[in-house]
Amino acid sequence: MTSPARPFSITTPLYYVNDLPHIGSAYTTIAADAIARFHRLQGRPTLLITGTDEHGQKIQRAAEKHQRPPQDYCDEMSGHFQALWQKLLIYPDRFSRTSDRRHQTIVEQFFRRVEAQGDIYLGQQQGWYCVACEEFKEERDLLENRHCPIHSNQAVEWRDERNYFFRLSKYQQALETLYTENPDFIQPSSRRNEVVNFVKQGLQDFSISRINLTWGFPVPTDPDHTLYVWFDALLGYVTALLEPDQEPDLEVALAQGWPISLHLIGKDILRFHAVYWPAMLMSAGLPLPDRVFGHGFLTKDGQKMGKSLGNTLDPWALVETYGPDAVRYYFLREIEFGRDGDFNQTRFINRLNADLANDLGNLLNRTLNMAKRYCQHQVPPLRGSDFPSDHPLKAIGEALEERVPQAYSNLAFSVACEAILELVRAGNKYLDQEAPWSRYKAGDQATVEAILYGVLESVRLAAYWLSPIIPSLSTAIYEQLGFSVNFNDFSSLQVTLGVQDHKCWGILPGGQALGQPVPIFRTLEDLNP
Measured CA to CA, the distance from residue 307 to residue 321 in angstroms comes to: 21
Contact 510, 382 (CB under 8 A): yes
Strands 209-210 and 222-227: antiparallel
Distance in Å, CB of 258 to ligand MSP, minimum: 15
Of the pair 103, 391, the CB lying nearest ligand MSP is at 103
CA distances from 209 to 228, 232, 260, 276 (A): 5, 10, 26, 15
Question: Does 16 interact with ligand MSP (rule: CB under 6 A)?
Answer: yes
Of positions 15, 38, 165, 387, contacts ligand MSP by CB under 6 A: 15
Judged by beta carbon, residue 234 or residue 412, the one nearer ligand MSP is: 234
Task: Check binding of 107 to ligand MSP (CB under 6 A).
Answer: no
**Chosen residue from 35, 168, 186, 269 binding ligand MSP by CB under 6 A:** 269
Instruction: Report helix, strand or coil for 336.
Output: coil
49 binds ligand MSP (CB under 6 A): no
Using CB under 6 A as the binding rule, whether residue 24 contacts ligand MSP is answered as yes
Which of these, 84, 64, 88, lies nearest to 74 by C-alpha position? 64
Type of residue at 485: V
Of 249-268, binders to ligand MSP (CB under 6 A) are: 265-266, 268
Which of 9, 25, 46, 353 is the binder for ligand MSP (CB under 6 A)? 25
Q: CB-based contacts of 334: which residues, under 8 Å, 6+ apart?
A: 341, 347, 348, 351, 414
Q: Where are the beta strands (DSSP E) in 291-411?
A: 291-295, 298-300, 303-304, 341-343
Nearer to ligand MSP, 268 or 314 (CB): 268
Residues 282-301 touching ligand MSP, rule: CB under 6 A, are 297-298
The CA angle 26-214-206, to the nearest 5 degrees, is 70
- Report CA dihedral (243, 246, 250, 253) to the nearest 10 degrees: -20
Determine if 53 is a binding residue for ligand MSP (CB under 6 A): yes
Tell which one of 70, 92, 216, 236 touches ligand MSP (CB under 6 A): 236
Q: Which residues of 328-339 are buried (b: 16+ CB within 10 A; e: fewer)?
A: bbbbbbbbebbe
CB closer to ligand MSP out of 16 and 330: 16
Site membership for ligand MSP, residue 233 (CB under 6 A): yes
Closest distance of CB 317 from ligand MSP, Å: 16
Q: Which residue is nearest to ligand MSP (CB)?
A: 266
Site membership for ligand MSP, residue 14 (CB under 6 A): yes
C-beta closer to ligand MSP: residue 242 or 356: 242
> Is 28 near ligand MSP (CB under 6 A)?
yes
Minimum CB distance to ligand MSP, residue 23 (Å): 7
Segment interacting with ligand MSP, rule: CB under 6 A, options 7-15, 318-326, 436-444, 488-496: 7-15
| Residue 521 C-beta: closest distance to ligand MSP, Å | 26
Selected from 8, 10, 13, 41, the binder of ligand MSP by CB under 6 A is: 13
Question: Applying CB under 6 A, does 332 fall inside the site for ligand MSP?
Answer: no
Listed residue (400, 520, 411) closest to 464, CA to CA: 400
Out of 8, 10, 27, 476, point to the residue binding ligand MSP (CB under 6 A).
27
Please say whether the beta carbons of 148 and 127 come within 8 A. no
Q: Which is nearer to ligand MSP, 136 or 297 (CB)?
A: 297
CB of 189 to ligand MSP, least distance (A): 19
For residue 7, the minimal CB distance to ligand MSP (Å) is: 20
Residue of 98, 101, 93, 133 whose CA lies nearest to 11:
93
Please, are residues 518 and 480 in contact by the beta-carbon 8 Å criterion? yes
> How many binding residues for ligand MSP (CB under 6 A)?
19
Are 273 and 263 contacting, i.e. CB atoms less than 8 angstroms apart?
A: yes
The rounded radius of gyration (Å) of the Cα atoms in the chain is 26
**Judged by CB under 6 A, does residue 234 bind ligand MSP?**
yes
Extract the runs of DSSP E, i.e. beta strands, from 359-400: none
N-term to C-term CA, the chain: 49
Q: What minimum distance in Å lies between the beta carbon of 190 and ligand MSP? A: 15
Closer of 176 and 268 to ligand MSP (Cβ): 268
What is the DSSP track for 440-474? HHTT-HHHHHHHHHHHHHHHHHHHHHHTTTSHHHH
CA–CA separation, 261 and 6 (whole Å): 9
Q: Report the nearest approach of ligand MSP to the CB of residue 85 (Å).
A: 14
Q: How far is the CB of 12 from ligand MSP (least distance, A)?
A: 8
Is the distance from CB of 153 to CB of 308 less than 8 angstroms?
A: yes
Q: Which C-beta is closer to ligand MSP: that of 191 or that of 225? A: 191
Q: Which amino acid is at 223?
A: P
Site string for ligand MSP, 298-327 (x = CB under 6 A): x------x----------------------
Residues that bind ligand MSP (CB under 6 A): 13-16, 24-25, 27-28, 53, 233-234, 236, 265-266, 268-269, 297-298, 305
